[in-house]
């Protein structure tokens, strides 16, 4: 269950990080509300997962999913540059996430 929590928390991190783009500095009500709710839900799920997973693993996977997902959506949805270097480094994040999972002992 902890792994499901951390994956959902990471996906929520992707959602709220992209959502921040639409808040316009938290000046737009509904995008700000949804972004805030995403932050809170993501943190709660991270805290839940950290009860049983090592914190370094839980936090690393959470951040990795968030960073990789935000970068991918940034390129796919927000028109950010798609370069070989960016794809390479996102791939390294994915390898790190899998490595943390495989070495966590859980």
> What's this model's pTM, rounded to 2 decimal places?
0.91
Quick one: what percent of the chain has pLDDT higher than 70?
100
106 pLDDT above the threshold of 80: no
pLDDT band at residue 58 using 50, 70 and 90 as cut-offs: very high
User: In 50-85, which positions are buried (b, 16+ CB within 10 angstroms) versus exposed (e)?
Assistant: beebeeebbbbbbbbbbbbbbbbbbbeeeeeeeeee
Query: Which tens digits make up the pLDDT trace of 20-57?
Result: 999 999 999 999 999 999 999 999 999 999 999 999 99
């Amino acid at each position: 269950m902890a792994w499901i929590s951390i994956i959902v928390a990471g996906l929520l991190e992707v959602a709220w990080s992209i959502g921040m783009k639409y808040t316009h500095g938290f000046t737009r009500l509904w995008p700000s509300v949804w972004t805030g709710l995403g932050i809170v839900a993501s943190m709660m799920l991270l805290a839940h997962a950290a009860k049983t997973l090592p914190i370094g693993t839980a936090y690393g996977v959470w951040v990795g999913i968030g960073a990789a997902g935000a970068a991918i959506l940034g390129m796919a949805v927000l028109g950010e540059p798609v370069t070989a270097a960016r794809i390479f480094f996102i791939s390294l994040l994915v390898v790190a996430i899998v490595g943390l999972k495989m070495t966590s002992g859980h």
